[in-house]
């Protein structure tokens, strides 16, 4: 899991990771997708998702923010969730959106 250290200025890589998390959350939350037809297609979709969207951490002063993606496909469903926690306390996507302002 990659860790980004944010002090006064945010690096381009950290900004890109945070922006990607917000965009992916908006795309997959409350959306309906049809899973792959075969098991191999579903496994490939899951693998590609995690390659494009790796989990990461943000060190901001004393706070440690963890961002974890969950994505799975079954025969009938596509499940997605984004888990954001600050110092192991569950938070929502607004924490990440505040970094982009």
Domain coordinates of the chain in residue numbers? 2-100
pLDDT tens readout for residues 23-44: 999 998 888 888 889 999 999 9
**What's the Cα-to-Cα distance from 42 to each of 12, 34, 50, 76, 79, rounded to whole Å?**
32, 10, 13, 11, 12
What tokens does 63 get?
Answer: 């706070």
Digit-coded pLDDT (tens) for 41-83? 999 999 999 999 999 999 998 999 999 999 999 998 889 999 9
In angstroms, the CA 67 to CA 69 distance is 7
Global pTM?
Answer: 0.88
C-alpha dihedral sign at 60, 65, 66, 67:
negative
């Amino acid at each position: 899991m990659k860790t980004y250290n944010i002090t006064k200025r945010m690096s381009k890589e950290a900004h890109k990771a945070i922006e990607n998390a917000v965009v992916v959350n908006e795309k997959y939350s409350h959306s309906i997708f049809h899973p792959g037809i075969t098991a191999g297609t579903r496994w490939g979709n899951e693998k590609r998702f995690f390659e494009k969207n790796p989990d990461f951490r943000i060190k901001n002063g004393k706070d440690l923010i963890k961002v974890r993606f969950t994505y799975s496909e079954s025969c009938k469903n596509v499940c997605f969730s984004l888990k954001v926690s600050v110092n192991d306390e569950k938070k929502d996507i607004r924490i990440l959106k505040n970094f982009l302002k």
